[in-house]
Protein backbone atom coordinates (compact mmCIF):
# COMPACT_ATOMS: atom_id res chain seq x y z
CA UNK A 1 0.00 0.00 0.00
CA UNK A 2 2.83 2.43 0.79
CA UNK A 3 4.61 1.79 -2.52
CA UNK A 4 1.81 3.31 -4.62
CA UNK A 5 2.14 6.85 -3.16
CA UNK A 6 5.95 6.65 -3.43
CA UNK A 7 5.65 5.56 -7.07
CA UNK A 8 3.21 8.39 -7.85
CA UNK A 9 5.51 10.94 -6.20
CA UNK A 10 8.52 9.65 -8.18
CA UNK A 11 6.61 9.86 -11.48
CA UNK A 12 5.45 13.40 -10.64
CA UNK A 13 9.01 14.55 -9.87
CA UNK A 14 10.38 12.93 -13.05
CA UNK A 15 7.59 14.44 -15.15
CA UNK A 16 8.14 17.88 -13.64
CA UNK A 17 11.85 17.74 -14.41
CA UNK A 18 11.15 16.71 -18.01
CA UNK A 19 8.62 19.51 -18.47
CA UNK A 20 10.96 22.09 -16.89
CA UNK A 21 13.87 21.07 -19.15
CA UNK A 22 11.76 20.50 -22.24
CA UNK A 23 12.56 16.80 -22.22
CA UNK A 24 15.98 17.47 -23.75
CA UNK A 25 18.00 16.14 -20.85
CA UNK A 26 20.03 19.38 -20.75
CA UNK A 27 20.19 21.31 -17.53
CA UNK A 28 19.33 24.99 -17.20
CA UNK A 29 23.00 25.67 -16.37
CA UNK A 30 24.11 24.12 -19.66
CA UNK A 31 21.67 26.34 -21.55
CA UNK A 32 23.07 29.48 -19.89
CA UNK A 33 26.78 28.94 -20.58
CA UNK A 34 28.71 31.31 -22.81
CA UNK A 35 28.86 30.12 -26.40
CA UNK A 36 32.43 29.29 -27.39
CA UNK A 37 33.97 31.97 -25.12
CA UNK A 38 32.11 34.82 -26.83
CA UNK A 39 31.28 37.79 -24.62
CA UNK A 40 29.17 40.90 -24.96
CA UNK A 41 30.93 44.11 -23.96
CA UNK A 42 28.46 46.81 -22.92
CA UNK A 43 29.11 50.46 -22.04
CA UNK A 44 27.27 52.40 -19.33
CA UNK A 45 24.11 50.34 -18.99
CA UNK A 46 23.53 49.33 -22.61
CA UNK A 47 24.41 52.64 -24.31
CA UNK A 48 26.52 50.62 -26.75
CA UNK A 49 27.66 47.05 -27.17
CA UNK A 50 30.05 44.88 -29.15
CA UNK A 51 31.42 41.34 -29.10
CA UNK A 52 34.76 39.98 -27.90
CA UNK A 53 35.98 36.42 -28.10
CA UNK A 54 38.44 34.68 -25.83
CA UNK A 55 40.63 32.43 -27.95
CA UNK A 56 43.17 29.71 -27.38
CA UNK A 57 45.20 29.58 -24.19
CA UNK A 58 48.84 30.60 -24.66
CA UNK A 59 50.09 30.11 -21.12
CA UNK A 60 48.79 30.03 -17.55
CA UNK A 61 46.10 32.75 -17.42
CA UNK A 62 46.92 34.22 -20.85
CA UNK A 63 44.71 33.66 -23.88
CA UNK A 64 44.33 35.17 -27.31
CA UNK A 65 41.57 37.76 -27.69
CA UNK A 66 39.57 38.97 -30.66
CA UNK A 67 37.86 42.34 -30.23
CA UNK A 68 35.27 43.51 -32.76
CA UNK A 69 36.30 46.74 -34.51
CA UNK A 70 33.03 48.33 -33.35
CA UNK A 71 34.26 48.13 -29.74
CA UNK A 72 36.26 51.28 -30.47
CA UNK A 73 33.02 53.25 -29.98
CA UNK A 74 32.93 52.08 -26.36
CA UNK A 75 36.56 52.68 -25.47
CA UNK A 76 38.98 54.06 -28.08
CA UNK A 77 42.04 51.82 -28.32
CA UNK A 78 40.34 48.65 -27.05
CA UNK A 79 40.24 47.31 -30.61
CA UNK A 80 44.04 46.91 -30.34
CA UNK A 81 43.72 44.33 -27.54
CA UNK A 82 45.02 40.91 -28.57
CA UNK A 83 45.35 39.19 -25.20
CA UNK A 84 43.04 38.19 -22.31
CA UNK A 85 44.92 37.85 -19.01
CA UNK A 86 43.08 36.28 -16.06
CA UNK A 87 44.69 36.63 -12.64
CA UNK A 88 44.28 34.28 -9.67
CA UNK A 89 41.94 36.77 -7.96
CA UNK A 90 39.54 36.57 -10.92
CA UNK A 91 40.38 39.93 -12.48
CA UNK A 92 40.66 40.05 -16.25
CA UNK A 93 42.75 42.48 -18.31
CA UNK A 94 42.77 43.09 -22.06
CA UNK A 95 46.11 44.14 -23.54
CA UNK A 96 47.88 44.62 -26.85
CA UNK A 97 51.14 43.07 -25.63
CA UNK A 98 50.01 40.56 -22.98
CA UNK A 99 51.32 42.78 -20.16
CA UNK A 100 50.11 46.41 -20.16
CA UNK A 101 46.33 46.54 -19.67
CA UNK A 102 44.08 48.64 -21.86
CA UNK A 103 41.11 47.82 -19.62
CA UNK A 104 40.83 45.77 -16.43
CA UNK A 105 37.72 44.01 -15.14
CA UNK A 106 36.74 42.67 -11.73
CA UNK A 107 34.20 39.92 -11.14
CA UNK A 108 30.78 41.57 -10.97
CA UNK A 109 27.89 40.83 -8.64
CA UNK A 110 25.98 38.10 -10.38
CA UNK A 111 27.30 37.18 -13.80
CA UNK A 112 30.26 38.57 -15.69
CA UNK A 113 32.72 41.39 -15.07
CA UNK A 114 32.74 45.17 -14.62
CA UNK A 115 35.62 47.44 -15.55
CA UNK A 116 37.44 49.47 -12.93
CA UNK A 117 40.43 50.76 -14.91
CA UNK A 118 40.06 53.07 -16.65
CA UNK A 119 37.36 54.48 -14.39
CA UNK A 120 35.26 55.72 -17.31
CA UNK A 121 33.48 54.54 -19.28
CA UNK A 122 32.06 51.81 -17.08
CA UNK A 123 32.08 48.61 -19.13
CA UNK A 124 30.46 45.28 -18.38
CA UNK A 125 31.49 41.96 -19.88
CA UNK A 126 29.12 39.02 -19.86
CA UNK A 127 28.99 35.70 -21.67
CA UNK A 128 26.92 35.73 -24.84
CA UNK A 129 24.10 33.36 -23.87
CA UNK A 130 22.62 30.65 -26.02
CA UNK A 131 19.05 31.26 -27.02
CA UNK A 132 16.44 28.92 -28.41
CA UNK A 133 14.87 31.70 -30.53
pTM of the model: 0.69
Q: Among residues 81, 76, 86, which one has the least CA distance to residue 107?
A: 86
Domain with CATH 2.40.128 in the chain: 33-129
In this predicted model, what pLDDT tens digit does every residue of 66-106 receive, in sequence order? 999 999 999 999 999 999 999 999 999 999 999 999 999 99
Phi first, then psi: what are they for 6, rounded to 5°? -65, -40
- Let me know if 28 is exposed, middle or buried by CB neighbors in 10 A (0-12, 13-18, 19+): exposed
What is the DSSP code (8-state) at residue 30? H
| CA gap 127, 45 in Å, rounded | 16
Structurally, what CATH architecture does the domain formed by 33-129 represent?
Beta Barrel (2.40)
Number of neighbours of residue 68 by Cβ within 10 angstroms: 16
Amino acid sequence: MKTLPVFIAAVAVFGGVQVFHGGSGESAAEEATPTDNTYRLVANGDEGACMVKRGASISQGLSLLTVAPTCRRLLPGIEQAKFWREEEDGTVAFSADGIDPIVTFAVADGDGYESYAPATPLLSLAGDRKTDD
